[in-house]
Amino acid sequence: MTDKDISKVKELLAHPRKIVIVPHKGPDGDAMGSTLALKILLETLDHDVELIAPNDYPDFLKWMPYQEEVLIYEQEKSRCDELISQAEIIFTLDFNHLSRAGEMTDSLEAATADFIMIDHHQQPDDYAVVTYSDVTMCSTCQMVYHFFENIGLTDHITPQVATCLYTGIMTDTGSFRYRSTTSRTHLVLADLIEKGADNTSIHENVYDTSSYNQLQLLGVALQNLQVVEELRTAYITLSQEELDRYNYRKGDTEGFVNYGLSLSGIIFAAIFIENKAENIVKISLRSKGTFSVNDFARKYFHGGGHINAAGGRSDLPLKETVEKFISILPEYRTSLAG
């Protein structure tokens, strides 16, 4: 953050304010961890804080501190619209463009509040009075820690705040393995453990709470795995019928896309998940090395993200979406064929 941004934030937070905090649609561990941490800490400073998620978040995050206070826009539109219109400050975390707030976008665009963005995605939009954007960061949670450092609030990090931040860093780094995980990340993690994050419990709460149905669905996903060997690409499909068969719940497919990338020699992995309710196919993309799935998702699937992890969607049926994907691959032969 620049000195100017730091002074601006300090000025904005100098006395109790009405604050709304927003994660992106389809909130993940980093989105929920960063927004919850910020809410908990700002409340200790007597601000009036509401956390409004555009839609529901996965069950594997439903143990997180204060998560029961999260409002879901889809479920309480008029109340949320009112809170957004009355807010003096709106923090948007873990996304780079208001359209990533889904159905909340119009309401956010109409808001008169001062916006503060904290985010690590590429190509940030410029709607905020303070834009703290750093694409080299592994997670928005690590950025929220630095945000607290910059404005002199690390002493206010309670065990609950530490737990939320640890969770988001863990989930966004694939448990500290992606290249964006730096020595600085580990220093932050060490301090979070010092401040009360119980690392073993957090790992167990997130990763060891699968349902039987979820593992059966993983079995189907692995059966459906296809490999395009010469282009070092692997992809998985899951149809609505397959999801229904195993009583799919939000978050059940988290991490499935990584199995493609775990195959020896594969550097590009995708998963296509049919969503009949929204009439789309949701796509997650992952890569190793310099192949940018952010560019790929932006160019072909109305999406974006990071170089090695991105997402998007397709309005075509599942089969046609996969055919489109396969037909695009040869354009990237020089990067993919190796």
309 binds, among ligand 5GP, Mn ion, none (CB under 5 to 8 A by kind): ligand 5GP
29 binds, among ligand 5GP, Mn ion, none (CB under 5 to 8 A by kind): none
The CB-side HSE value for 96 (13 A sphere, CA atoms) comes to: 16
Tokens 């997402």 label which residue? 311
94 near Mn ion, judged by CB under 5 A: yes
Determine the Cα–Cα distance for residues 57 and 11; give it in Å rounded to an integer: 33
Q: For Mn ion, give the closer residue by CB, 5 or 172.
A: 172
30 near Mn ion, judged by CB under 5 A: yes
Q: Which stretch binds Mn ion (CB under 5 A): 79-87, 134-142, 178-186, 219-227?
A: 134-142
**What is the Cα Rg of the chain in Å?**
20
Q: For Mn ion, give the closer residue by CB, 167 or 237.
A: 167
313 binds, among ligand 5GP, Mn ion, none (CB under 5 to 8 A by kind): ligand 5GP
Q: For Mn ion, give the closer residue by CB, 269 or 310.
A: 310
Q: Name the closest residue to ligand 5GP (Cβ).
A: 311
Q: For Mn ion, give the closer residue by CB, 239 or 312.
A: 312
5 near Mn ion, judged by CB under 5 A: no
Q: Could you say which residues in the range 214-253 bind Mn ion, by CB under 5 A?
A: none
Q: Name the DSSP class of 264.
A: T
Q: Please, is 193 exposed, middle or buried when counting C-beta atoms within 10 Å of its C-beta (0-12, 13-18, 19+)?
A: middle
Q: Which stretch binds Mn ion (CB under 5 A): 24-32, 214-222, 248-256, 259-267?
A: 24-32
Q: Name the DSSP class of 332.
A: G
Estimate to the nearest angstrom the gap between the alpha carbon of 267 and the chain centroid.
22
Q: How far is CA 3 from CA 85, 115, 132, 144, in A?
A: 29, 18, 12, 16
Q: For ligand 5GP, give the closer residue by CB, 28 or 252.
A: 28
| Interacting residues toward ligand 5GP by CB under 6 A | 24, 28, 100, 284, 303-306, 309-313
DSSP assignment of 178-198: STT--HHHHHHHHHHHHTT--
> Which token pair is 270?
């995708």
Return the residue of 5, 50, 172, 252 that touches Mn ion, per CB under 5 A. 172
Estimate to the nearest angstrom the gap between the alpha carbon of 20 and the chain centroid.
18
Query: Coil, strand or helix: which one is 100?
Result: helix
Task: Please report, as ranges, the residues that interact with Mn ion according to CB under 5 A.
Answer: 30, 94, 140, 172
